[in-house]
Amino acid sequence: MSIKNGSDPEFEEGASYVIKNFTISKRYGRPCIFVNRDTRKFKTSPLAITEEAEKTAKEALCPPSPSATGEEEHIFSSTGYWSLQGTVEKVQVARMTRGNIPILDLRLRCGTKLYNISLWREEALVELYVSDKVEVTHLKGNIQPNGGGKFDSSNYMTVKIVERQIVDAVLTMIGVSEEDNMIILLDSEMEDYAVPSHFYKGNINDLVQQLPISVKVQHINNHVLLLQQLKEVQTADAIESPESLDVKEAPESLDVMEAPESLDVMEAPESLDVMEAPESLDVMEAPESLGVENTE
């Protein structure tokens, strides 16, 4: 389907046409009809087409991509497409090419095999975490110069998150660190938890003065999606929360209940694609004494 005048479709789905003086090119990686000044389009009554022609047209839009177990011997030398389902074991930080095309490299375990996969364009922007179970379609095998193999994206590729395990936990945080637009919290069991920097807009040293603090979190493999402060753990050096602590309200998609005045709530930014919290989790607003930023 091409676009006319930036909004109107040049061709209507389900309608029949006869087109003259067009060109076919694989310039963008798949066969496309290019309309030029000499092209003439005729809208007609419904045309009778064979099943084979209909099948060929559908495959041009979405070629076959059979599911692979990952155990196939010649999986990288195949000329067709493959679909894989497995568990994400490693995710790199997305990078940009010179042509400003995002690429996300990850490692996927399928059965006993471990495969390197590069996701391109829109699929590279999908938020993935270690331990996610995903299905990736229309992968192209690629044999590397060293004899190894990897999978690259194609123009037809899709990524579907089949299963994602979100863990609820109550933790006591005893340490704070900053790293690459993230706040790293250290709990009493010496586990690190990565929190987006948008969760806390104040001075990191002010947050240190509040430690230790007890918090309830939702996380995926220690990547925090939701965090709410339950209570302050009183110590000899504990001080009141500073006025510079800015706490964000929970998004409208969650059921929000008012909390006792002693509770502080911090929420993830809207830019993070996160599964909704279960209905059994009541998210509570921050106290009136803190500066609350209304996301509405």
CB 195 within 8 A of CB 227: yes
- Read off the pLDDT of residues 207-260 as tens digits, 9 standing for 90 and up: 888 888 888 888 888 888 888 887 554 433 333 333 333 434 434 333 433 444
**Model pLDDT, residue 30:** 67
Q: Are 233 and 210 in contact (CB under 8 A)?
A: no
Handedness of CA 126, 57, 77, 84 (dihedral sign): positive
The pLDDT value recorded for residue 133 is: 92
pLDDT recorded at residue 263: 38
Low-confidence residues of the chain, pLDDT below 70? 1-9, 27-30, 147, 231-296
Partners of 110 in beta bridges:
113
* Predicted pLDDT at 145: 73
DSSP three-state, residue 176:
strand
Nearest to 129 by CA among 164, 155, 100: 164
Token pair 């990952």 in the structure block, residue: 70
Query: Are residues 186 and 177 in contact, defined by beta-carbon separation less than 8 angstroms?
Result: yes
**How many CB atoms are closer than 10 A to CB 188?**
13
All CATH 2.40.50.140 domain ranges in the chain, comma separated: 82-163
Let me know: does 96 contact 112? Beta carbons within 8 Å. no
Query: Which DSSP string corresponds to 123-168?
Result: GGGS---TT-EEEEEEEEEEE-TTS-EEEE--TT-EEEEEE---EE
pLDDT at 96: 86
- pLDDT for the residue numbered 134: 92
CATH T-level topology, domain 82-163: OB fold (Dihydrolipoamide Acetyltransferase, E2P) (2.40.50)
Which tokens hold the place of 115? 């495969």
pTM of the model: 0.55
The Cα–Cα gap between 25 and 14 comes to 23
Q: What percentage of the chain reaches a pLDDT higher than 70?
A: 73
